[in-house]
């Protein structure tokens, strides 16, 4: 009996220590699980970081402030998770990771919106102009080039965050869009002509938009009777 008591006395401290180790192990597994769930978001943010410079001029309202604040919070969350050493600190990783996931979603959501605006600004009215210019013999090739640029832009706008290859593809897209606009200027499609053609493609062209430059452009292509133009002005009266 005394031998059993002596053995029990030796085991009691070990039981407490084993329980502590068990709790630490459980907390560690739980922390690892929630940390792993953040990896896809972290990978997307790392990709997005390669294109963030393209979005600088395309934030709206509070988006830029929101993104910067979210990134700061993510950095702080990462530091807390990396510094966790005991069961309590490891247990806190669950709530930290949950908040971090929400912050990531905010950054990626606002980034995607800015990316959409960026592509739209780069391609602008190229798609509608391309469809219209493809109808004229002397601008058919240019219209086809415009359609190609618009198609590539549509592909890029749905890819966020863009990969490094897609960032390079965007650079080439921007070069081609600039070259197309220069070509438009060469064929006499200045600001008023371009505005008129865009409105025409959208069936919003009005008579007051047809200035001398527009009329000259139309007559040069013998298209006086080709267009449907409204006598009403567009917009509020």
Is the pLDDT assigned to residue 144 strictly greater than 50?
yes
Residue 24 pLDDT class (50, 70, 90 cuts): confident
Domain ranges of the chain: 2-113, 124-220
Q: Which residues of 111-147 are buried (b: 16+ CB within 10 A; e: fewer)?
A: bbbbbebbbeebbbbbbbbbebbbebeebeebbebbb
Q: Give the residue-averaged pLDDT of 212-226.
A: 72
Residue (of 144, 147, 145, 142) closest to 127 by Cα position = 147
Q: Range with the lowest mean pLDDT among 10-14, 127-131, 149-153, 211-215?
A: 10-14
Selected residue with higher pLDDT from 203 and 53: 53
Res 9 pLDDT > 60: no
Query: Does the structure show a pLDDT above 50 at 207?
Result: yes
Of residues 204 and 97, more confidence is placed in: 97
Could you tell me the pLDDT band of residue 223, with boundaries at 50, 70 and 90? low
Q: pLDDT band at 19, cuts 50/70/90? A: low
Alpha carbons 36 and 145: distance in angstroms, whole number: 45
Contact assessment for residue 146 and residue 173, using Cβ atoms and an 8 Å cutoff = no
Cβ contacts of residue 185 below 8 Å, gap of 6+? none
Of 5 and 173, the structure prediction assigns the larger pLDDT to 173
Question: pTM surpassing 0.85?
Answer: no
Beta-carbon contacts of 16 under 8 Å, excluding residues fewer than 6 positions away, are none
In whole angstroms, what is the distance from residue 131 CA to residue 192 CA?
Answer: 18
- Summarised one tens digit per residue, pLDDT across range 31-70 is 888 889 999 999 999 888 888 899 999 999 899 999 999 9
Per residue in 152-190, pLDDT (tens digit) is: 999 999 889 999 999 999 999 999 998 988 887 777 677
3-state secondary structure of 234: coil
pLDDT at 214 over 90: no
Among the residues of the chain, which ranges form H helices?
2-36, 39-48, 63-83, 87-91, 93-123, 126-133, 140-157, 164-186, 191-201, 212-220
Alpha carbon 168 to its chain's center: 15
């Amino acid at each position: 009996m005394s031998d059993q008591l002596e053995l029990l006395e030796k085991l009691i401290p070990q039981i407490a220590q084993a329980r502590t180790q068990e709790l630490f192990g459980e907390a560690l597994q739980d922390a690892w699980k929630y940390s792993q769930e953040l990896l896809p978001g972290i990978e997307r943010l790392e990709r997005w970081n390669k294109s963030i410079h393209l979005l600088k001029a395309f934030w709206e309202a509070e988006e830029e402030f929101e993104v910067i604040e979210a990134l700061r919070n993510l950095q702080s969350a990462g530091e807390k998770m990396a510094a966790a050493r005991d069961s309590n600190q490891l247990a806190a990783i669950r709530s930290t990771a949950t908040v971090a996931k929400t912050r990531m979603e905010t950054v990626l959501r606002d980034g995607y919106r800015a990316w959409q605006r960026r592509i739209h600004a780069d391609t602008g009215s190229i798609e509608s102009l391309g469809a219209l210019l493809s109808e004229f013999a002397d601008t058919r090739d240019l219209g086809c080039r415009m359609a190609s640029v618009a198609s590539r832009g549509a592909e890029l706008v749905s890819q966020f965050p863009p990969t490094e290859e897609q960032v390079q593809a965007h650079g080439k897209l921007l070069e081609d869009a600039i070259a197309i606009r220069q070509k438009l200027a060469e064929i006499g499609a200045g600001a008023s002509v371009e505005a008129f053609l865009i409105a025409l493609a959208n069936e919003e062209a009005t008579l007051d938009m047809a200035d001398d430059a527009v009329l000259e452009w139309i007559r040069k292509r013998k298209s006086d009777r080709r267009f449907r133009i409204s006598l009403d002005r567009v917009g509020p009266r």
